[in-house]
Structure 1
Amino acid sequence: MKGFVLVLGCLIAIQNAQGWRNFNRGRSKGGNLGLPAGDAVRGSESEKVTTEWFTQYLDHFNPNDGRTWKQRYYVNDQYTSKRRDVAFLMIGGEGEASIEWMTKGAWINYAKKFNAICFQLEHRYYGKSHPTSDLSTKNLQYLTSQQALADLAFFIDEMNKKHELSKNVKWIAFGGSYPGSLAAWARQKYPHLVYGAMSASGPLLAKVNFSGEKL
């Protein structure tokens, strides 16, 4: 699989310039990347994308707290092979997840090349993934990158079972900006679950009162 990661890395590097232009053009105030660039998707492709809901724990770090909530995710399994040994995960960030990304974008081209099953997991507290009834200060204590990373780990483990993926399945995490950080951290924190990560423009170094920098 070293060759697989090397080829994937080369493909990402080749499209980096175009992807960065799309990133800057499509980025909105909320932090989300907008919609992917590219040609219109054929109906047969989009029809095979499913919207599903995952039972997620509210607090992964308190064994006495068994509260759960429903987290939205998308699945596209039309490119996977019978081996089901490659899985791509697009990590949701500070914006609503978009089903458009499930059939368009560079990562879908990679999925077709490497026969990957594709998932996109919406970040807790964004879009339609509401862990709590309101956004009070008390409830927002569960909006942390640590909880989001644990969401990813639990999700991957359960998807392995639900979709009967190979015991040797290689999960590749994708993310840009904040989700880019999550992708890198997921690979570092859960190497037994995440085989590789594509982290685009991830702000990995924390800064106090960070207001952003113009390129």
Structure 2
Amino acid sequence: MHRAMVFQSLFLLPLLLLFSLTTATAKRLHTIPRLSPIGPRVWLDHPDQILGESVREDFETFFYNQTLDHFNYRPESYDTFLQRYLINSKYWGGANASAPILVYLGAEAPIDGDLDAVGFLVDTAVEFNSLLVYVEHRYYGKSIPFGSREEALKNASTLGYFNSAQAIADYAAIIIHIKKTLQAKDSPVIVIGGSYGGMLASWFRLKYPHIALGALASSAPVLYFDDITPQYGYYALVSKDFRGASETCYQTIRESWEEIDEVASKPDGLSILSKKFKTCNPLTDASELKNHLDSMYANAAQYNKPPTYPVNKVCGGIDGCGFGDDLLGRVFGGLVAYKGNRSCYVNEPTNQSETSVGWRWQTCSEMVMPIGYGNDSMFPPDPFDLKAYIEDCKSLYDVTPRFHWVTTYYGGHSIRLILQRFASNIIFSNGLRDPYSSGGVLENISDTVVAVKTVNGSHCLDILFAKETDPEWLVAQRKTEIKIIKEWINKYYADLSRF
């Protein structure tokens, strides 16, 4: 697709060969916007966004000898790899008191970034007297099967063990191991996750209710599968966020795509665009620039958190006309406002990150979220094309995406009807400015499967470290979640005493 979200890039040299062989394909891949509680590195560079580094010293790192394949009994299924998890026992009331265990389920990134940013567990540890556990997702960070990342990500045969079902089975095995080691048989477990990790948390509670008492699933778009949610929801909300910030900004962005194409069609058009946007390398196609801007707008909306509010930053740069009153000059102003003053912008010479490569595989196998661009957005219409998506994935991995598998294995259709009597103790939290909230659970399903939402919230804001500058509505959201979890735990203790 000509406006496909570009891969984020950091490192992972061994995989450059794979992607250099598929350059033509990669340009038209319709990639699914990254699911992460943290957001782009550009905003993590702000000190007020990284609050967890000082608490790392309270965590001790362990490695569990994890089973490669939980669901088969072939000889190779019994292979193992070392899976990383970290424990903070500073605040724990102990096994004798059956004090709670809060477990953060890592997602599509090394666990290190979550330790530095996801602070809900640490912030509430004293209140819950809880043991804190952070578990890294298989195939990310230091939790790599097959001895090396290069070998693990080599082809579909080794990648075949890389899926959500295996991941939550990993978490189950590690939680059981921790409870046994600490002789904490009766300590209730609450699993917590954000974004893709939020999906894992909710699915873990459904699949392993004997292990987790409850789940906090933050910004988990569990309904963005199998056409349950209209495909245009994500980018419609991105556009709504920008329009809410500034009508002139919204209109400028909406008109800019045609202007970029018009300039690019001139004999020296790409050179003009390269100079206008101070690209790091000369543009070879207008799609490079459009992909970059598309990604920027989506990230700004998804992670539109206080106190920086990236959408307002971008629109301030666009409306400020600091780089000329012409259309593209205003768009460049938004780019500078978002990224700050740099020597160059767009197509930086970087390598593929393990998250980019890993998420590409996950979305080409089971995490197929049909996200397209409709007529009600500031982007040119571009519907999700499943046939083209399948062809792209087959060209990369020789694997056909399983479009219906998530709803087959975890459910999702008629969720209110099904879960109101089957499920319990799940909090689905969402901020309604988050584009992924369009695929979230926004209304209570039952007394114990509840939706906690905020009108002004963004992606996973509630599980990040609390700050003095947090608005009252965010403070209230967290208090509501804590109150609900306390009720689950108190009822559990009452049942424990009776049985």
TM more than 0.5: yes
Question: Which sections of structure 2, spanning at least 5 residues, go unmatched?
Answer: 1-34, 42-46, 227-367, 374-433, 436-499
Give aligned-pair identity as a percent: 34
User: What is the distance in 2 between the residues matched to 1:36 and 1:89?
Assistant: 25
Shift in alpha-carbon separation, 1:26–1:56, aligned structure 2, 3 A:
closer
User: What is the distance in 2 between the residues matched to 1:151 and 1:100?
Assistant: 18
For 1:58, give the aligned amino acid. L
Q: Give the C-alpha shift of residue 106 in structure 1.
A: 2.2
Q: Give the C-alpha shift of residue 149 in structure 1.
A: 1.1
Equivalent pairs counted in the alignment come to 185
> What SS does structure 2 have at the residue aligned with 1:194?
coil
Aligned to 1:94: 108
Match of 1:210 among 353, 367, 370: 370
User: What is the distance in 1 between the residues matched to 2:36 and 2:139?
Assistant: 24
For 1:139, give the aligned amino acid. T
Higher strand share: 1
User: What is the distance in 1 between the residues matched to 2:38 and 2:113?
Assistant: 16
Match of 1:194 among 212, 227, 249: 212
Tell me, yes or no, if the aligned pair for 2:51 and 2:116 is still in contact at 8 Å: no
Tell me, yes or no, if the aligned pair for 1:84 and 1:116 is still in contact at 8 Å: no
Aligned to 2:40: 28
Aligned to 1:48: 58
1:137 matched to 2:151: no
Q: Give the C-alpha shift of residue 47 in structure 1.
A: 2.9
* TM-score w.r.t. length of structure 1: 0.76
Q: Give the C-alpha shift of residue 36 in structure 1.
A: 8.7
CA-to-aligned-CA distance 1:65-117 (integer Å, 9 cap, x gap): 21110001111000001324210101110111017627971221212111110
Aligned to 1:163: 182
Match of 1:66 among 78, 91, 94: 78
User: What is the distance in 1 between the residues matched to 2:36 and 2:82?
Assistant: 32
Aligned to 2:6: none
Tell me, yes or no, if the aligned pair for 1:89 and 1:121 is still in contact at 8 Å: yes
Tell me, yes or no, if the aligned pair for 2:50 and 2:117 is still in contact at 8 Å: no
Tell me, yes or no, if the aligned pair for 1:171 and 1:193 is still in contact at 8 Å: yes
Aligned to 1:108: 122
Q: Give the C-alpha shift of residue 204 in structure 1.
A: 1.1
Aligned to 2:171: 152
User: What is the distance in 2 between the residues matched to 1:36 and 1:56?
Assistant: 36
CA-to-aligned-CA distance 1:161-209 (integer Å, 9 cap, x gap): 11221x2211000101100000000001000000010001112122455
Shift in alpha-carbon separation, 1:40–1:156, aligned structure 2, 3 A:
closer
Shift in alpha-carbon separation, 1:171–1:78, aligned structure 2, 3 A:
same
Root-mean-square deviation (CA), in Å? Answer: 2.8
Tell me, yes or no, if the aligned pair for 1:36 and 1:105 is still in contact at 8 Å: no
Q: Give the C-alpha shift of residue 26 in structure 1.
A: 3.9
* TM-score w.r.t. length of structure 2: 0.34
User: What is the distance in 2 between the residues matched to 1:198 and 1:173?
Assistant: 6
Shift in alpha-carbon separation, 1:118–1:177, aligned structure 2, 3 A:
same
Tell me, yes or no, if the aligned pair for 1:53 and 1:73 is still in contact at 8 Å: yes
Question: Which sections of structure 1, spanning at least 5 residues, go unmatched?
Answer: 1-22, 30-34
Higher helix share: 2
Q: Give the C-alpha shift of residue 51 in structure 1.
A: 1.1
User: What is the distance in 2 between the residues matched to 1:200 and 1:173?
Assistant: 11
Deviates more, 1:68-77 or 1:84-93: 84-93
Shift in alpha-carbon separation, 1:152–1:41, aligned structure 2, 3 A:
closer
Tell me, yes or no, if the aligned pair for 1:37 and 1:105 is still in contact at 8 Å: no
Which is greater in Rg?
A: 2
User: What is the distance in 2 between the residues matched to 1:156 and 1:24?
Assistant: 23
Match of 1:172 among 190, 198, 204: 190
Match of 1:57 among 67, 76, 81: 67
Shift in alpha-carbon separation, 1:146–1:100, aligned structure 2, 3 A:
closer
Aligned to 2:87: 75
Aligned to 2:236: none
Shift in alpha-carbon separation, 1:24–1:152, aligned structure 2, 3 A:
closer
User: What is the distance in 2 between the residues matched to 1:46 and 1:153?
Assistant: 24
> What SS does structure 1 have at the residue aligned with 2:174?
helix
